[in-house]
A = this chain, B = another copy of it.
Amino acid sequence: MTERKAAVIGGGVIGGGWVARFLLNGWDVAVYDPEPEAERKIQEVLQNARRSLPALYDRALPDEGHLAFQSDFGEALDGAAWVQESVPERLELKHQIHADLTALAPPNAIIGSSTSGFKPSELTAQGARVIVAHPFNPVYLLPLVELVGEAGQCADAAAILRSVGMYPLIVRKEIDAHIADRLLEAVWREALWLVKDEIATTEEIDEAIRMGFGLRWAQMGLFETYRVAGGEAGMKHFMAQFGPALEWPWTKLMDVPDFTPELVDLIAGQSDAQSGHLSIRALERLRDDNLVGILRSLRRTKSGAGGVIVDHEASLPPVMESVLPVTVLRQVPETWTDYNGHMNEAHYLEAGAQASDRFMEMIGADAAYIASGLSYFTVENHVRYLAEVHAGDELKITTQVLATEGKKLHLFHSMTRGDGTLAATMETFLLHMDFQARKSVAPQGAVAEALAQYAAAHRGLAMPDGAGRFVGQRAAQ
């Protein structure tokens, strides 16, 4: 199936997250949900997703696909390569829907269920063709999807999920609650006991997590963290040291707290005291801004989800070129803005530096070239700030070769916003270096030729406004 259409059945928080994940990766999406509020809720999820998912990348995602809300089940499924069911967790309801999906969906379509509670054997008990594809909220930012079910379908599903920037984890034996929710459930029970016994409030428990081990788990998980804690003596030493604690009376988990209205009131009341001053929308934005920041920080080391993003970015299609090459096309991430919402001055230069890097790739002075001991080094940058840029704005940079002579290269980057306004210029002077010899030398061979071609193409162009000027120089009259 080569069509990139997804059908999303059930449009709550999870269904909406799937819509956003596919749509912002260029897929067409048809939503089927008879609930009258579904469209409004999905649009709200999309609003969150549009300000955060593209901000993970330093290149533009594909153009958004087409979003349709279908009242006809068959029409929603028509031509879909992926069908995702995210309806409430009632088995008879799932059975009914999956019987219909199996009958009506294209025969090669992946049919996934977002269920956290049911095993594939339960979903397929009445002959339906379906696998578990269990995502995590917010689906448009968190890469994990647990896949459980028939091996061939899981393998096909994994390939599609990777193409939309997700991380499929194929669970090889079915089990209640799959993997992640078992861990979450264990913590949830323990946390309920702590609150019920007045050892800690919901806020204190959250602090105990996010001030400590939560920071470790965002990057390494449980076992790798403990491996490090074991130190030079290794994992066996760690286990020898901490294993016996399993027999200590450290948890109350041999028992289950009664789920009484009093316990619900206690938890809900503490949660209000902790976070009630922020609306759910405000909390969602805060969560997403933090996730973008954390995920972007993990790009550097390619750890965990950072590696998923870097790999996905490398698979994005290249930008079409004109006379002046487009060296940057991207969204402004929230993390690039300051307290008043404007892009911070250093990030104008960061975008300009990305333009220089991209131009280097275009002339063949790429990572392999640098690894061979040759590279262009930036000697000077002159940034002129001409218009404000905000989070979410599309940035486009075109690059002009002003001059190249031997080891010297003089570039001029023009940065425009999505509305066409010239937002900044950056004039850059670079020298071609030989690392080993620690001196500047002229480039040779393919790089020199590619550069000469750009220089020739740009020779007839006018000197751009603002080039060759010193700081504070008055504009030409």
A267 at the interface (CB under 8 A from B): yes
Contact A221 B246 (CB under 8 A): no
Tell me the number of copies of this protein: 2
In chain A, positions 135-194 with a C-beta closer than 8 Å to chain B are: 136-137, 141-144, 146, 167, 169, 171-173, 175-177, 179-192, 194
Interface of A is mostly: helix
Q: Which chain B residue lies CB-closest to A285?
A: B301
| In-complex Cβ contact of A257 among B194, B246, B304 (8 A) | B246
Count of chain A residues near B, Cβ 8 A: 146
A243 at the interface (CB under 8 A from B): yes
Among listed A100-108, A227-235, A451-459, interface-contacting one: A227-235
| In-complex Cβ contact of A378 among B205, B255, B345 (8 A) | B345
A204 at the interface (CB under 8 A from B): yes
Contacts of A197 in B (CB 8 A): 173, 175
Contact B471 A291 (CB under 8 A): no
Residue among A172, A199, A294 facing the most chain B CB atoms (10 A cut-off): A294
Inter-chain CA distance A408–B137, complex, in Å, is 49
Contacts of A379 in B (CB 8 A): 384-385
A245 at the interface (CB under 8 A from B): yes
Contact A349 B472 (CB under 8 A): no
17 A-B pairs within 8 Å (CB atoms) are namely A142-B211, A144-B207, A144-B211, A172-B198, A176-B250, A186-B189, A206-B222, A206-B224, A210-B305, A211-B305, A213-B217, A214-B219, A218-B290, A219-B294, A293-B298, A345-B349, A382-B471
**Chain A interface (Cβ within 8 Å of chain B)?**
13, 117, 136-137, 141-144, 146, 167, 169, 171-173, 175-177, 179-192, 194, 197-200, 202-225, 227-232, 234-236, 239-240, 242-251, 253-257, 259, 264, 267-268, 270-272, 274-275, 280, 283-284, 286-287, 289-291, 293-298, 300-301, 303-305, 308, 335, 340, 344-347, 349-350, 353, 370, 377-385, 403, 408, 410, 427-429, 468-473
